[in-house]
Amino acid sequence: MKFRLIIDNEQDEEVIARVRNRSALTDEIEALVMQYAGADRIPGYTEDDIKMLCVSEIECVTVLDGKTYAIDSKNCRYRLKQRLYELEQQLPSSFIRINKSALANEARLDRFQVTYAGSVDAIFKCGYREYVSRRCFAQIKRRLESK
């Protein structure tokens, strides 16, 4: 079996599979291609099932106890298989680093709040809070001021 991927921004997207016989694999590939609606999705895992998470619904991606999790708009936590640095490259530019172990979806940020100790927390629309490091906060401030 051979696999070939051609990326050409000038052409319309098309998926062609040449096979000798229909199989479970071809059925799975067809279902995957047909359910793709142009929106990027990543698989999120819970103890019981797998859910395809729409990237625009993810509020924050964070590392807890050495495992990567996505927090969605309903404040539900889903385990992700990728590492944070892999997700940072894969996710759109609306995801910004807020500390060494978290990425925030800028579109889903509600506000920043200064705590009594002088640190800054990012508050998301779902109510989730995450610490913002000073270095990242300076970069976020510059980014927001340039818009």
> Model confidence over 19-31: pLDDT tens digits?
888 888 888 887 7
Percentage of the residues of the chain whose pLDDT score is greater than 90: 48
Full domain range(s) for residue 84: 40-145
Q: Of 15-24, 118-127, 131-140, which range is least confident?
A: 15-24
What's the CA gap between 77 and 30, in Å, rounded?
29
Residue 52 falls inside a structural domain: yes
Residue 29 falls inside a structural domain: no
CATH number reported for the structural domain that contains residue 112 in this entry: 2.40.50.1020
pLDDT-derived band at 36 (thresholds 50, 70, 90) equals low
- Mean pLDDT for the stretch of residues 26-47: 75
Residue 8 falls inside a structural domain: no
pLDDT-derived band at 144 (thresholds 50, 70, 90) equals confident
User: How many structural domains is the chain composed of?
Assistant: 1
Residue 25: in which H helix or E strand, if any? helix 24-35
Residue 98 falls inside a structural domain: yes
Residue 1 falls inside a structural domain: no
Is a pLDDT exceeding 70 seen at residue 39? no
Global pTM exceeds 0.85: no
Residue 45 falls inside a structural domain: yes
Supply the pLDDT for residue 9: 74
Residue 112 has, within 13 A of its CA and on its CB side, a CA count of 17
Residue 6 falls inside a structural domain: no
Residue 26 falls inside a structural domain: no
Strands (E), 1-138: 41-45, 50-54, 58-64, 67-72, 77-80, 95-99, 102-105, 109-114, 120-124, 129-132
Whole-Å CA distances, 85 to 30, 48, 77, 80: 30, 26, 19, 12
- Please compute Rg for the chain using Cα positions: 19
